[in-house]
Every structure is written in C-alpha cells, then in structure tokens.
Structure 1
Amino acid sequence: MPAHRPDPLPLARFAATADLAHAIEGWQQQLKSERRASPHTLAAYGRDLAFFLDFARDHHGEQPSLDLLRRLKPADFRAFLAARAARDLAKTSQARALSVLRGFFRFLDRRGLVSNPALTVLRGPRLPQAVPKPLSEGDARAAIEAADTVQTVGSAPWIAARDTALVTLLYGCGLRLSEALDLTRRQAPTAGMASLRVTGKGGKTRIVPLLPIVSTAVDEYLAHCPHPIGANDDLFVGVRGGPLNPRLVQRLMEQLRFHLGLPDTATPHALRHSFATHLLAGGADLRAIQELLGHASLSTTQRYTAIDAAKLMEVYDRAHPRAGE
C-alpha cells in the first residue's frame, strides 16, 4: 500500500476474544464504508482502541471480551484516561481516545452486543480553542518561489517542478495535504480548467476555483515528470514513480523554514490556513470560505476571525451602510 494510505490495524493487534474481535472487524468496516473514514482515521482510531484493550487486559487480568466491556465501570475508564495522562499525551489526544471509545460502544449498543452507560458520565478534557497559524502573504509567496531551490544537490529538475506545483496548490486552493496527494492524473488542475473538484473528509466533495498560477505550475510539473502517470494514478509521485510520501512534503517545509527563516508553525497545513486567512483579510464572505475549505460547521471556519480582528473590523466599516454614523 502507498505510504500515505495506511491499512487499518490488523485484528491480531487487538487484545480481544473471538467475539470481540468479530465486533471490532464490523466496527472498522462501518467506519470505512458508511462513515467513509480515511485510512489515516482508521489507523488512528484502531491504535486508540488497541491501547484501551491493552489497558483493560492488564487492569482486569483477563483477555477483553464483550462480557468484560459490559462490566466496565466509570472508574475503569477514568483509570484508562489517567494512564494516558501519565504518558504526557496532549489533551487533544485524550479527547480523541475518549471519542473513539464512545463511538465504539455506541456501535456495540446499536448492534445489540454491549450496553454500558458508564462512558456517559465521563467528561472529556477541556480543550483550548485552537487558533490557526497562517503565514503572512509575503512568506507564503516566498515559500512558493523558493520551493524549487531547497532540494539537495543532485535532485532532478522535475522534483523542483513537482514541489513548486504542490506548494502552489496547497496555498492557491486551500487543500489539506491528504487531499492534494489523493488527486489522480485525471483530476489534475491543468490549463483550461476553471475549478477543481476535491474530495475531502467523509468523502464529501467541493468545488474550488482554480487560479492560473496553480494550473501553470501543475502543467510544468507534468511536462517534466519522467514517470508515466495513468489517468487513475496518483498525480504527485516520488523519485521512483510511486505515490509521494507526505513525510517528504513535511521535510520540504522544514527546509523552507530553515532557508527563509519561517516560524516552526510553517507546515503544509499552514498553507491551507494562509489561504483562508488571506481571503478573509481581503473581505471574502465567511460562508464562502467555509465552502472552499469544506468545513462541515461554520464555527470551525470562524476560528480565522480571531487572527486578524482589526482587519475584519476595517472591512466591516467599509461595508456596513450605517458605518461612521
């Protein structure tokens, strides 16, 4: 499998009796087929559940089964969260683990396998409101311009063209890295296209306007790429022609941070934040930005209003008919 599409955790990894293992298999299949969870999500959820079952086995001295899950008390779940906290895991990791358990027990309850209300009395950790950390417009432009110059000596010219195309796409269309790497050659944003259809989280599609600078960069990359790329093959490929590993893109941004003196927050995802923040600063409608980013909730998009409140008020003063009275 490609490096950026990990397999779900194998059933053998879960500490579970046969009945519980069968239920886990059904849960994984539901996440994949009904909820359209990404491979990354499936792998992460599996790790969280496996860690919980390992804890339950050690805590109770028996192999986890449907019967054991039925007997668990709130104190058992609190002990599990305390064990995770002792490992200095972030609050976001704690919250995700609790969410995974709630989802799994909800699945078991709906299937008539286990009914246990113990999780309902637990409260997750209070999470701080995360504020996106975008690049400035100048830094975003500099990152695009320098993307073809930071590779190690001896790199093929087409690698530079690929990196430029990818960075331009992430910033120009506001894509998640996984969305960009999931594009096929057939979906490539090339000259003559006015928009790009993107498949995001949960299999939801959205349409993003395509800037000429993006299509030009992608065309340049395709013109120089030495590897044959079929219509249904991944658009962005590695040195040997296989799917591009996301770690290489993260490393590219690390190199850009070093060469341009960018902050540590300058990651591939920061380019998506920059896309949204710069649109908002330019007076774009918040609902429109929500659609462009593919956010299910407007409250997620509203985080960007905390970044440049002064600029937002300036736009408001220009736009409101009663401003200045």
Structure 2
Amino acid sequence: MKRRSNTVNEKTTAALRKPNRTTKQPLKYWDVAESFYKHSRLKGLSPDTLRYYEKELKQNGRAFTELGAPVENIRLMTAEHIEQLIEYYQRIHRAPRTINSRLRALRTFFAYCVSKGITVTNPVQNIANLKVRHEVGATFSRQQLQRLLDAPKTDTFSGLRDLAIMTTLAHTGIRLKELTSLRLPDISFDGIGTITVQRTKNRYARRIPLTKQLRRVLALYIEERGILDTDILFVSMDNAPFAERSIQYQLKYYGKISGVGNYVSVSPHAFRRTFCRLKVEAGTNLFLLQRLTGHSTLDMLRRYVQIFATDLEDVIEDGF
C-alpha cells in the first residue's frame, strides 16, 4: 500500500486557520455625530434638546480640531483629550457652567458610541464637572414689578397683550417656551380659573390656578384677541403666534421705559425668579412651589429659601 503523504491538504489548512482580525475602520467625529443626531430624533427628544446636542457637539468638535485631537478617528479619543479640552475652554475664559454643559453633551454622545460598539469606553465617564458657584440671579422688587406692569399702554391691542404676557409671567413663573406654547384651550375660567401648561421642560403637564388679577387681565385680552385661525394664546399684530424673540424684545423695551432695566435685566427668567422669591417670602410650601413651577428637583428652590426665607429675620434678635 502506498505510504500516505504527511502534508495536509491546503484547503483543510485554510479552514483551520484562525480568521485574521481586521482593524476596525476609522470613524470621523463628525460622521458619528450625525448618526447620534438621527438616533436622538428617533428617540423622540424635544427640538430644544436636539438643538442643544447639535450646538454643543459642534463647539466641541471645533475645539478638538483646534487642539489636534483625533477627530478623524473617534476610537482614539481618550480621557486625556477631554482634559485638554477642559483646559482649552478655561484658557479662553469659558464659564464653568458652559464647560459643564459641553461635557454633559459629550458624555451622552460617547455613551451612545459605547452602546453602538463604536468605541470600547466612554472617555468622559470619569471626568468630573467643574465646581460652580450656586447663585440666584437678580429679581424684581415689588415696586419694580409694579412699574413694569404699569408700563404698557392698555388702550392699544399690543399694550394689552404685553400686559397679559407680563402678568402671566409674574403670576405663574412659567418659562418663555411654556408661555409661547399656551393655547386658548389651556385657559379655563371655571371656578377661580386655571392655566394648564402642556409643553413643559420635563414633559409633565401641570396646572396653575389663576390669581384674581391674572384672571381679569387674561379675560380682557382674550376678548380683545377674538377668534383667529390660530389658537395660540399670544399673537402678534398680524395675528400670527408671537415669537419668543419678540417677547424678549418687548420686555427689554418695558425695562427701559420704566427704568427697571437700569437695575435688573428684564427677561422672562427674571419674572420666574421673582415669582419663586415672592412665594418663598410668603412661606409657600416647597413641594407646592415645585408643582407650580415645574422644577424637576428641589435644589434650585432650596437656594431661594437660603436667601429669601424670612425665618432669619425672625431670630436675629434672639439672645440679645
């Protein structure tokens, strides 16, 4: 019998070979960012959140490019590159809150990369946010608030509308986005009356009772507004939804003519801070105040208590 050859068939040898580990292809930061935006849209994130991610990731991408970070291959990004990014922002005098906002966006972005197998680790995961001062912005005094509410000329439609806008901001503490999204069906005059805020930051609708003054002003404004093609509550002279920028401009204008703007920057958020301050000074329960304002946590409201609660005045003379 013919002796068998000791050489194994090449086909068999090839089948036994371990497959070559191919190097993963480089992925550019900008391309992965586009995938992340699409993923975020499919998740149903709000337009504001989508704009936030796009804005902050673009700023970070430009900074990474300036620093020579591996934007051409996101897989090479490390915690060291993130630390260099923070130092860069500090050198160009970006505020700690701004830096933290950009870090939050990056942290979420790289978490997405890990979940999709694009990167093995999240280089931002163990990077701590910068410490910031816990401050409360300026608020209006009662006298300043009244001067603002007295400023519009209520014998004109625009003046009556602006009074209704400022009274709504002052008596509910709602955010600008919440204000511009109010619709006629959100206002009820049953009983003492209520505003139902539908488009909120945390996506949970909330109910705010009307004060007597707000009920009266809104009723007058809605009657003058009349029936239109849009059911948006606050409208322009062209009967179109009144834009956020236009509201901000009008508030600045009333701050100027009333003189309040010389002391406090007049903005929707200044009205919100003032609402919180007045409620704290009146001794409103924090949990009730949280329900009125829609704050996701009590942290910010506790800062108002630290500054504006009247219990310190009640005890300062004790022991003397």
TM-score by length of 2: 0.80
Q: Partner residue of 2:126?
A: 121
Q: Partner residue of 1:11?
A: none
Q: Deviations over 1:81-133 (max 9, x none)?
A: 33333443222111100011101111222333333232123222211102142
Tell me the distance in 2 between the aligned counterparts of 1:237 and 1:222: 10
SS in 1 for 2:30: coil
Contact 1:189 1:218 in 2 (8 A): no
SS in 1 for 2:207: strand
Question: Aligned partner of 2:256: which letter?
Answer: F
Q: Partner residue of 2:30?
A: 16
Gapped regions of structure 1 (runs ≥ 5): 1-13, 150-155, 318-322
Q: Assess, with a 3 A threshold, how the Cα gap between structure 1 residues 187 and 57 changes in structure 2: closer, same or farther.
A: same
Runs of 4+ in 1 over 6 A off after TM superposition: none
SS in 2 for 1:119: coil
Question: Aligned partner of 2:268: which letter?
Answer: P
Residue among 55, 66, 86 paired with 1:47:
55
Matching of residue 178 in structure 1 with residue 174 in structure 2: no
Contact 2:175 2:269 in 1 (8 A): yes
Q: Deviations over 1:41-91 (max 9, x none)?
A: 321221111222233445448764xxx222101221122233333443222
1:155-166 matched pairs, under 5 angstroms: 157-166=156-165
Matching of residue 219 in structure 1 with residue 237 in structure 2: no
Tell me the distance in 1 between the aligned counterparts of 2:190 and 2:224: 16
Output the aligned Cα RMSD: 2.8
Matching of residue 143 in structure 1 with residue 171 in structure 2: no
Tell me the distance in 2 between the aligned counterparts of 1:61 and 1:129: 33
SS in 2 for 1:234: coil
Question: Aligned partner of 2:250: which letter?
Answer: L
Q: Assess, with a 3 A threshold, how the Cα gap between structure 1 residues 111 and 15 changes in structure 2: closer, same or farther.
A: closer
SS in 1 for 2:136: coil
TM-score by length of 1: 0.78
Matching of residue 95 in structure 1 with residue 100 in structure 2: yes
Residue among 232, 238, 248 paired with 1:234:
232
Tell me the distance in 1 between the aligned counterparts of 2:227 and 2:70: 53
Tell me the distance in 1 between the aligned counterparts of 2:180 and 2:104: 27
Greater relative CO, 1 or 2 (CA 8 Å, sep 6+): 1
Gapped regions of structure 2 (runs ≥ 5): 1-27
Q: Assess, with a 3 A threshold, how the Cα gap between structure 1 residues 23 and 283 changes in structure 2: closer, same or farther.
A: closer
Q: Deviations over 1:167-206 (max 9, x none)?
A: 0001111111111111112213557552222132121111
Q: Assess, with a 3 A threshold, how the Cα gap between structure 1 residues 61 and 169 changes in structure 2: closer, same or farther.
A: closer
Contact 1:237 1:243 in 2 (8 A): yes
Tell me the distance in 2 between the aligned counterparts of 1:112 and 1:300: 37
1:254-269 matched pairs, under 5 angstroms: 254-262=252-260, 263-269=263-269
SS in 1 for 2:197: strand
Contact 1:174 1:271 in 2 (8 A): yes
Q: Partner residue of 1:70?
A: 75
Q: Partner residue of 1:280?
A: 280
The structure with the larger Rg is 2
Q: Assess, with a 3 A threshold, how the Cα gap between structure 1 residues 61 and 207 changes in structure 2: closer, same or farther.
A: closer
SS in 2 for 1:203: coil
Tell me the distance in 1 between the aligned counterparts of 2:91 and 2:152: 41
Aligned residues: 288
Q: Assess, with a 3 A threshold, how the Cα gap between structure 1 residues 315 and 147 changes in structure 2: closer, same or farther.
A: farther
SS in 1 for 2:208: strand
Q: Assess, with a 3 A threshold, how the Cα gap between structure 1 residues 216 and 316 changes in structure 2: closer, same or farther.
A: farther
Tell me the distance in 1 between the aligned counterparts of 2:92 and 2:161: 39
Deviates more, 1:92-101 or 1:19-28: 19-28
